[in-house]
Amino acid sequence: MSQFWKPGTERPQGRVVDDEEGGVLFLSGSHHSSSSSRYGYASIDKQRQRLPVFKYRTAILYLVETRATTIIVGETGSGKTTQIPQYLKEAGWAAGGRLIACTQPRRLAVQAVASRVAEEMGVKLGEEVGYTIRFEDVTKPDVTVLKFLTDGVLLREMMDDPLLTKYSVIMLDEAHERSISTDILLGLLKKIQRRRPELRLIISSATIEAKSMSDFFRMRKKRREPENEEHGLQVEPVILSVEGRGFNVQINYSEEPVQDYVQAAVSTVLLIHEREPAGDVLVFLTGQDDIDASVQLLNDEVQTTGKHSSGLIVLPLYSGLSRAEQELVFSQAPRGKRKVIISTNIAETSLTLEGIVYVVDSGFSKQRFYNPISDIENLVVAPISRASARQRAGRAGRVRPGKCYRLYTEEYFLNHMSNEGIPEIQRSSMVSCVIQVLDDDAKLTSPTGFQVAEIPLDPMVSKMIIASSQLGCSEEIITIAAVLSVQSIWISGRGIQKESDEAKLRFAAAEGDHVTFLNVYKGFHQSGKSSQWCHKNYVNYHAMRKVLEVREQLKRIAKRIGLVLKSCESDMQVVRKAVTAGFFANACHLEEYSHNGMYKTLRGSQEVYIHPSSVLFRVNPKWVIYNSLVSTDRQYMRNVITIDPSCLLEAAPHFYQLQQSNHLLR
Ligand code: CDP
Ligand code: MG
C-alpha cells in the first residue's frame, strides 16, 4: 500500500474542547470505551454502565431538572441517543402519561435507535418504546413513553398541537447536522418554552462545533424570559461535554488525486482485506447509485477471483433498506469473516456500528442545495468538510486503534476542504418548511395552501394530489405519489442491465414514467402482489410493499381532508394534467437543434437531459415535466412525463407569464 498511500502529517483526532466561554460548564473526565455489547458477555445493565455517558447520568438529570435547556456534546457512540431517553424515563419524566421525545434527522436512524432501545429495555418495539417517521407510526397511545421520531415529523405534530403538550422532554439529537427542520424546531421550541416553562429541551450533538448553538442561546439569554424565572428555572443553557473517545486512528491519504472514487474505494477495500489484520471496514460513498455499484463490484470480485476476497461480507447502508437488510448491517460478522459496510454519511454520526477498524472515505456526500436563480433544489454530490472527514475517520477507533484511508490528497484536505459544512438552512428552499410551520409570520392564504400543508409530502406532490381530486383521477395520482416516495421500483445493477431494461419495456407507456408506474402497479396488483411476479419482471418487491403502505396512508389523509377518491380508468390525459398542476415549475422543452437530447428548463433555461433510467430516454419528446434532478456529469431529469404545453398555462398562469406564453405556443 505504500506506493499508493501516504500517512498524514496532522496529529490525528486530537480532541479540542473550548472551555473558556462564559456560561459554559465543562465537565471533563477520561474514559476509554472499549466495551462492546456484541463482543463480551456482559449483561445489558453492565453494558449500559460502561458507556461514557453513564458517568454523567446524575449530572445530566440534575441539569435537566434545573435548566430549561441543556446542550450535551459527546463523541459518536458515547451513548447519547440510546441512554439519555432511558435515564429520563427512569427519573420519572414519563410519569402521568407524558412522553419523552428524541428526534433524529434521518428516518433510518430513528428506526435503528428505537429498536436498540426497545431491546435494551426488554420491551417490544411499538409498546413503551416506539417511533414515528413519515408514513410509519409504530407507537401505541397511552403505552408509548419513549418516542423516537424525525425532526420533520415533530414539526408536523406542531400543526395539531402547537405547544406539543404531550411531551415533557424533547431531545433534539444530532443538532450538529443542522438540518432545516432542526433549525426551525430550535426556534419554535424556544417560543413554546416561554408558554410552557415545564417543557425541557436537550440539544445533543457529536461535535464541539455546538459553540454556534450556544451562541444562539446566549443571544436569547440577553432577552430576559421572566415567566421561566418565576418557576425557579435557570434559563441559561449549559453545555455538558461527555468525554469518551476511543482509540487513535492513523490517517492515510491518497498520493495522487483519485479519478473514480467508486473504483478507488473498491480497490482500497480489497487491499485492506489482503494486507490488514481482522476488523470490519466502513466505506463512505454518497448514495444508492454509487453504493450499489461498489457492492456489485466487490461481490463480482468475491465470486470471480475468490482468493483475495473470500471472507468478505459486503453490505450497503442507506435509507430505504428493509428491516432485514438493516439488521444484517448491525449484526456481528461470523468468525473468520470481514464485514464491509458501504454507507452514505448516515454512518458518520447517526448510527454506531460496532467492530469497525478501517474507514475508507471518498471525501464526498450528497447534500441538498438550493439554487435561488433557477429555483431548483437538488441533491448534489459535494465535497465534505474537514469536520466531517474527522468524524468519518473517528469511526475507525471505537474498538481498537484503527486506520482511515482518505481517497484524496493531504494537500486537498489541508488547503481545499472547508472547515465546517454549511447548515442546510442556508442551502435549501424553504417552501416545504414554511408551508408546514403556519406561524404568524408565514400564514397561508389560499384554501389550497391549507390542504397542501395537511399532506406530509413535498408541496408539489401535494398540489398534484389535490388537483387529481378535481380532475377525477385521484386513485391513479395517489399511486404515482406513492411510487415517487420510494427510491426506485426497479431492480438494477451491473450485469443485469439488459434484462431489466427489457423488462421495463413491457410496462413502458408513451406518456412516460408516471404512466409506466401505473402499469407496473396494475400488474403487481393483478398478480396478487406476488414476489415471484416482481422477481420475473425486475421489479423491487420491497419497494412495491412500501408503495402499498404509503398509498394506504395517502388515501386516509386524502379522505380526511375531504378529497374525492376516484379512478379515471384509462384516461391518461387527466393524469398528465394533474401531474402538470403539481410540477409545472419543472417543465422543460427539447432544444431542437442540439441533436443530443438537451432540454432547457422553462424557468431559468438550465440545461438538462433525460436520465437513462427513464422510459423516455432517447425518445426525447418535445415537452416534458420531471419529478427530480440528479446532478452527476450533467443534470439529469428523473421520472419524466410528456405534457401538453397548453396545460402549463392552464395550470399556472401566474407562473408562465406573457412573454413565455408566446414561447409556449410557438
Ligand atoms: O448517540 P451516540 O452516538 O452517543 O451513541 P448511541 O447511539 O447511544 O450508542 C451507544 C452504544 O450503543 C454504542 O456504542 C453501541 O455499543 C451500542 N449500540 C448498538 O450496539 N447497536 C445500535 N443499533 C445502537 C447502539
Ligand atoms: Mg446518536
Q: Whose CA is nearest to atom 12 of ligand 1?
A: 79
Helix (H), strand (E), coil (C) string for 178-232? CCHHHHHHHHHHHHHHHHCCCCEEEEEECCHHHHHHHHHHHHHHHCCCHHHHHCC
> Contact 599/588 with Cβ under 8 angstroms?
yes
Supply the CATH number for residue 632's domain. 1.20.120.1080
Which atom of ligand 1 is least distant from the CA of 398? 14
433 found inside a domain? no
80 Cα–ligand 1 center, Å: 8
Q: Whose CA is nearest to atom 25 of ligand 1?
A: 352
DSSP code, position 456: S
114 Cα–ligand 2 center, Å: 11
Task: Say what the pLDDT of residue 562 is.
Answer: 78
Distance separating alpha carbons of residues 221 and 49, to the nearest angstrom: 35
Task: Say what the pLDDT of residue 13 is.
Answer: 37
Give the ligand at the shortest distance from the Cα of 114.
1
- What mean pLDDT do residues 389-403 have? 90
Task: Say what the pLDDT of residue 140 is.
Answer: 96
Give the ligand at the shortest distance from the Cα of 113.
1
Q: Based on the domain organization, do 374 and 456 belong to the same domain?
A: no
- What mean pLDDT do residues 546-559 have? 88
Q: Whose CA is nearest to atom 8 of ligand 1?
A: 79
Distance separating alpha carbons of residues 261 and 489, to the nearest angstrom: 26
Q: Based on the domain organization, do 442 and 420 belong to the same domain?
A: no
Last residue of one domain, picked from the residues 216, 242, 268: 242
277 Cα–ligand 1 center, Å: 24
Query: Is 120 close to ligand 1, i.e. is its CB under 6 Å away?
Result: no
Distance separating alpha carbons of residues 196 and 227, to the nearest angstrom: 9
392 Cα–ligand 1 center, Å: 16
Distance separating alpha carbons of residues 268 and 406, to the nearest angstrom: 10
Q: Based on the domain organization, do 257 and 216 belong to the same domain?
A: no
Query: Is 79 close to ligand 1, i.e. is its CB under 6 Å away?
Result: yes
Which atom of ligand 1 is least distant from the CA of 38? 20
- What mean pLDDT do residues 76-98 have? 94
Q: How much helix, strand and coil, in percent to the nearest 5, is found in the chain?
A: 45, 20, 40
Residue from 51, 57, 82 to probe ligand 1 pocket by mutation (most atoms less than 8 Å from CB): 82
Give the ligand at the shortest distance from the Cα of 112.
1
Task: Say what the pLDDT of residue 212 is.
Answer: 58
85 Cα–ligand 2 center, Å: 11
- What mean pLDDT do residues 250-272 have? 92
Nine cell digits for residue 102: 428524541
Q: Based on the domain organization, do 331 and 236 belong to the same domain?
A: no
Task: Say what the pLDDT of residue 666 is.
Answer: 42
> Contact 251/70 with Cβ under 8 angstroms?
no
Tens digits of residue pLDDT in 108-129: 999 999 999 999 999 999 999 9
Query: Is 326 close to ligand 1, i.e. is its CB under 6 Å away?
Result: no
Give the ligand at the shortest distance from the Cα of 106.
2
DSSP code, position 564: P
70 Cα–ligand 1 center, Å: 21
Q: Whose CA is nearest to atom 6 of ligand 1?
A: 79
* pLDDT band with cut points at 50, 70 and 90 for residue 656: low
Task: Say what the pLDDT of residue 358 is.
Answer: 97
* Helix 513-526 vs helix 497-507: crossing angle, to nearest 10: 90
79 Cα–ligand 1 center, Å: 6
Query: Is 395 close to ligand 1, i.e. is its CB under 6 Å away?
Result: no
Which residue range forms the structural domain that includes residue 291?
Answer: 249-426
Last residue of one domain, picked from the residues 392, 426, 460: 426
| Among the listed residues 212, 215, 288, 201, the one whose alpha carbon sits nearest the alpha carbon of residue 493 | 288
Query: Is 352 close to ligand 1, i.e. is its CB under 6 Å away?
Result: yes
487 Cα–ligand 1 center, Å: 27
Task: Say what the pLDDT of residue 429 is.
Answer: 56
101 found inside a domain? yes
Give the ligand at the shortest distance from the Cα of 175.
2
Q: Based on the domain organization, do 515 and 633 belong to the same domain?
A: yes
DSSP code, position 333: P
* pLDDT band with cut points at 50, 70 and 90 for residue 16: very low
Q: Based on the domain organization, do 117 and 216 belong to the same domain?
A: yes
ipTM: 0.97
Task: Say what the pLDDT of residue 646 is.
Answer: 84
Q: Based on the domain organization, do 238 and 253 belong to the same domain?
A: no
Query: Is 330 close to ligand 1, i.e. is its CB under 6 Å away?
Result: yes
> Who has greater pLDDT, 436 or 593?
593
Query: Is 77 close to ligand 1, i.e. is its CB under 6 Å away?
Result: yes
| Among the listed residues 36, 51, 47, 43, the one whose alpha carbon sits nearest the alpha carbon of residue 81 | 51
385 Cα–ligand 2 center, Å: 20
322 found inside a domain? yes
Query: Is 78 close to ligand 1, i.e. is its CB under 6 Å away?
Result: yes
Q: Based on the domain organization, do 125 and 226 belong to the same domain?
A: yes
| Among the listed residues 571, 584, 557, the one whose alpha carbon sits nearest the alpha carbon of residue 644 | 584
Residues at Cβ < 5 Å from ligand 2 ion: 81
Tens digits of residue pLDDT in 179-225: 667 777 877 887 788 888 899 999 898 865 545 555 555 544 444 44
Which atom of ligand 1 is least distant from the CA of 83? 8
Task: Say what the pLDDT of residue 310 is.
Answer: 74
432 found inside a domain? no
Distance separating alpha carbons of residues 536 and 501, to the nearest angstrom: 13
Is the pLDDT at 644 greater than 50, yes or no?
A: yes
72 Cα–ligand 2 center, Å: 11
Q: Is 449 exposed, middle or buried (0-12, 13-18, 19+ CB in 10 A)?
A: middle
Task: Say what the pLDDT of residue 251 is.
Answer: 94
Query: Is 661 close to ligand 1, i.e. is its CB under 6 Å away?
Result: no
Helix (H), strand (E), coil (C) string for 380-422? EEEECCHHHHHHHHHHHHCCCCEEEEECCCHHHHHHCCCCCCC
Q: What is the mean pLDDT of the chain?
A: 81
Q: Whose CA is nearest to atom 20 of ligand 1?
A: 37
Distance separating alpha carbons of residues 327 and 347, to the nearest angstrom: 14
449 found inside a domain? yes
Distances (CA, A) of 153 to 434, 469, 518, 546, 652: 14, 25, 29, 18, 30
What is the number of structural domains in the chain?
3
Q: Based on the domain organization, do 422 and 446 belong to the same domain?
A: no
Task: Say what the pLDDT of residue 173 is.
Answer: 93
307 Cα–ligand 2 center, Å: 38
Supply the CATH number for residue 104's domain. 3.40.50.300
Residue from 87, 110, 116, 243 to probe ligand 1 pocket by mutation (most atoms less than 8 Å from CB): 116
Query: Is 119 close to ligand 1, i.e. is its CB under 6 Å away?
Result: no
Report the percent of the chain where pLDDT is more than 90.
Answer: 42
Task: Say what the pLDDT of residue 624 is.
Answer: 96
Nine cell digits for residue 280: 470490519
Q: Based on the domain organization, do 362 and 448 belong to the same domain?
A: no
Task: Say what the pLDDT of residue 146 is.
Answer: 98
Query: Is 51 close to ligand 1, i.e. is its CB under 6 Å away?
Result: yes
Q: For 164-203, b where at least 16 C-beta lie within 10 A, e where not — what string?
A: beebbbbbbbbbbbbbbbbbbbbebbbebbeebbebbbbb
Residue showing cell 498524514: 8
Task: Say what the pLDDT of residue 34 is.
Answer: 36
325 found inside a domain? yes
10 found inside a domain? no
Is the pLDDT at 374 greater than 60, yes or no?
A: no
- What mean pLDDT do residues 87-105 have? 95
Q: Based on the domain organization, do 51 and 180 belong to the same domain?
A: yes
Last residue of one domain, picked from the residues 426, 450, 473: 426
Query: Is 81 close to ligand 1, i.e. is its CB under 6 Å away?
Result: yes
Query: Is 80 close to ligand 1, i.e. is its CB under 6 Å away?
Result: yes
Which atom of ligand 1 is least distant from the CA of 82? 8
Distances (CA, A) of 470 to 474, 574, 600: 8, 10, 30
> Contact 590/622 with Cβ under 8 angstroms?
yes
Coil vs helix vs strand at 472: coil
* pLDDT band with cut points at 50, 70 and 90 for residue 663: low
- What mean pLDDT do residues 337-345 have? 94
Strand partners, 368: 379
Q: Is 617 exposed, middle or buried (0-12, 13-18, 19+ CB in 10 A)?
A: middle
Q: Based on the domain organization, do 226 and 259 belong to the same domain?
A: no
Sheet of 312-317, strands arranged across: 5-7, 249-254, 402-406, 356-361, 280-284, 338-343, 312-317
> Who has greater pLDDT, 380 or 335?
335
Give the range among 118-132, 190-204, 233-247, 536-550 with minimum mean pLDDT: 233-247
Distance separating alpha carbons of residues 435 and 454, to the nearest angstrom: 9
137 Cα–ligand 1 center, Å: 23
Is the pLDDT at 142 greater than 90, yes or no?
A: yes
2 found inside a domain? no
245 Cα–ligand 1 center, Å: 13
Task: Say what the pLDDT of residue 43 is.
Answer: 83
Distances (CA, A) of 205 to 59, 220, 239, 288, 413: 17, 20, 10, 26, 24
Nine cell digits for residue 247: 482509540
DSSP code, position 510: T
- What mean pLDDT do residues 482-503 have? 86
| Among the listed residues 381, 405, 567, 383, the one whose alpha carbon sits nearest the alpha carbon of residue 471 | 567
Residue showing cell 409556449: 664
Task: Say what the pLDDT of residue 647 is.
Answer: 83
Query: Is 354 close to ligand 1, i.e. is its CB under 6 Å away?
Result: yes
Query: Is 620 close to ligand 1, i.e. is its CB under 6 Å away?
Result: no
